[in-house]
Amino acid sequence: MAISDGRAVRARRSVALQNLDLNLLVSLDALLRERSVTRAAAGLGLSQPTLSTALSRLRRHFDDELLTRVGNSYELTPLATDLVERVTGAVGVLERVFAGQPEFDPAVSDREFTVVVSDYAATVLGGPLSELLAAEAPSVCLRFQQMRTETVDAAPESLRAVDGLLLPHGYLTDLPHQDLYDDQWVCMVGAGNEVVGDTFTLEHLHALPMAVTYREPTRFTPAVKQLHMVGIEPRVVAVSESFLALPFLVAGTDRFALVQQRLAARLAAAADVRILPCPFPVTPLVEALWWHPVYERDTGHQWLRTVFGRVRDRLRHETV
C-alpha cells in the first residue's frame, strides 16, 4: 500500500509540473525582487506587456495579487513575502540542474559558484582562493553570499540552491563537509586601554564591557557561549553582525572582544588594538566547507572542493 501511495503522489506531482510553465518561475523571481513590472521586464529583456501577462497568470495560479499598489509603488502581499526565499532557492536549483555538464574544464569554464560565508571566513580564505582561481580558472566566478540565519537554520534544504556554506563545526550535522582550517580565540583590547596590562585576566572578563557578534538564540559566537558555560555573564554594550567591525568597536574604549586569531592578526594594526591570550580554555573552532549531497558527483563541484583543499594546505603553513 505504501509503494502504491508513493507512486500516486509522484504521478500527481508529474501532472502538476507538466501543466506549469517554468518560465513563470523566472518571471516570479524578477517580480518579487524588483517589485515593479517595468524594472523586472527590463532585467529579463522582455517587454512590459509580456511580463504583465505573466503576472496575471501568476495571480490566477496563486489566487493572490502578489504585488499591490501603494501610492506610486508596489508592495508584496504576505504570500509573496513568504515566497521570496523559496523562489530564489528554486531558481538556483533549476540553474544548477540545467547547467550540469559531464566534464568540467576550469581553464575555459565561465561557471559561477555561490558559497555562503561570513566576513571572517571571506577575509581568511579570500586571498588564496582568488589567487588560485585567477591562475587556473580566469573566467570562473566565485560569489561570496553573506551569511544569513535562515540559511543555517534551514539547512540542508537551503544548500540545494548554493554550492557550499563555510561554517565552523557545531551548527550542522549529517552533511558532507571538508575541514579547512582551525583557529584559536584571543582577547582584543584597545591599544591605549590602561586597565589591561600585559595579560588579560578573569577579573577583566567580569569587569569590562564587551563587544560581540550576534546575540540571539540561533546566532551566537561560540567563544561567548563558552563564557556562559563557565559562569561568566559578560556586560555586552555593542553588538555587530560583522566580525570585521569588532576591532573598531573596541579601539579607543575600555571594551574587549573575543576574536578569531587569524582575523585578529590581519586587523590588529589597522584598528590600533592589542591581542592577548584568553584567560580561560576556549575550544578551538574548525572551519569547514559544507554542501548538499546532490553535488557529490558534480564534476565542477568536485573541482571546487579540490581548490578549497589546496587553500587548506596553504593555511596549514601560515604563521599566525
Same domain as 178, residue 305: yes
Same domain as 166, residue 127: yes
Residue 223 lies in a domain: yes
- Grid cell at residue 48: 512590459
The widest CA-to-CA distance across the chain, in whole angstroms, is 75
Residue 10 lies in a domain: no
Same domain as 290, residue 178: yes
Residue range(s) defining the domain that contains residue 41: 19-89
How far apart, in whole angstroms, are the C-alpha atoms of residue 248 and residue 226? 23
Same domain as 303, residue 265: no
Mean pLDDT of 297-319: 91
Which residue(s) pair with 257 in the sheet?
Answer: 188
Mean pLDDT of 258-270: 90
Q: If pLDDT is split at 50, 70 and 90, which confidence band does 9 have?
A: very low
Residue 7 lies in a domain: no
Same domain as 296, residue 275: no
The per-residue pLDDT for 102 is 66
Contacts of 243 (CB under 8 A, 6+ apart): 118, 119, 120, 123, 213, 259, 260, 263
Same domain as 176, residue 291: yes
Residue 160 lies in a domain: yes
> Of all residues in the chain, what percent carry a pLDDT higher than 70?
88
Residue 249 lies in a domain: yes
Same domain as 216, residue 245: yes
| pTM of the entire predicted model | 0.71
CATH number at residue 85: 1.10.10.10
The per-residue pLDDT for 129 is 95
- Note the pLDDT tens digit of each residue in 204-259: 998 999 999 876 655 667 777 778 777 888 889 999 889 999 999 999 999 999 99
Residue 95 lies in a domain: no
CATH number at residue 247: 3.40.190.10
The per-residue pLDDT for 14 is 47
**pLDDT for residue 5 is more than 70:** no
Same domain as 50, residue 30: yes
The per-residue pLDDT for 15 is 44
Give the total number of structural domains in the chain.
3
**pLDDT for residue 74 is more than 90:** no
The per-residue pLDDT for 286 is 94
The per-residue pLDDT for 311 is 95
Same domain as 175, residue 303: yes
- Note the pLDDT tens digit of each residue in 112-131: 999 999 999 999 999 999 99
- Grid cell at residue 18: 507538466
Same domain as 261, residue 303: no
Residue 97 lies in a domain: no
DSSP per residue, the chain:
-HHHHHHHHHHHHHHHHHT--THHHHHHHHHHHH--HHHHHHHHT--HHHHHHHHHHHHHHHTS-SEEEETTEEEE-HHHHHHHHHHHHHHHHHHHHHT--S---TTT---EEEEEE-HHHHHHHHHHHHHHHHHH-TT-EEEEEEP-HHHHHTTTGGGGGSSEEEEETTS--SS-EEEEEEE-EEEEEETT-SS--SS--HHHHHHSEEEEE--BTTB--HHHHHHHHTT---EEEEEES-TTTHHHHHTTSS-EEEEEHHHHHHHHHHHTEEEEE-SS--PPEEEEEE--GGGTT-HHHHHHHHHHHHHHHHHHT---
Same domain as 279, residue 201: yes
The per-residue pLDDT for 175 is 93
Residue with cell 508513493: 6
Angle in degrees, CA 249, 250, 254, rounded to 5: 130
Query: Which of 303, 302, 188 lies closest to 254, judged by CA?
Result: 188
Same domain as 57, residue 128: no
Give the mean pLDDT of the chain.
85
Residue 211 lies in a domain: yes
